[in-house]
Amino acid sequence: MLHWIWNQNGLKMTPQETSDYKMQWMRDGGHGVRLHSDLDVAGKDWCRKNLERHQWSFTPHSDVYEHTFLFESQYVSQQFEQEFIDWIN
pLDDT score of 70 more than 70? yes
Is 54 contained in some domain? Answer: yes
Look at the alpha carbons of 1, 85, 56, 24 in this order and tell me if their dihedral is positive or negative: positive
- pLDDT value, residue 2: 41
Is 67 contained in some domain? Answer: yes
CA atoms within 13 A on the CB side of 69: 32
| Strands annotated E in the chain | 31-36, 56-63, 66-71
pLDDT confidence bin for 30, thresholds 50/70/90: very high
Is 33 contained in some domain? Answer: yes
Is 13 contained in some domain? Answer: no
Range of the domain at 53: 26-87
pLDDT score of 39 more than 80? yes
- Higher model confidence: residue 26 or residue 12? 26
Q: How many domains does the chain contain in total?
A: 1
pLDDT score of 1 more than 50? no
pTM: 0.84
- pLDDT value, residue 8: 65
Is 20 contained in some domain? Answer: no
Is 35 contained in some domain? Answer: yes
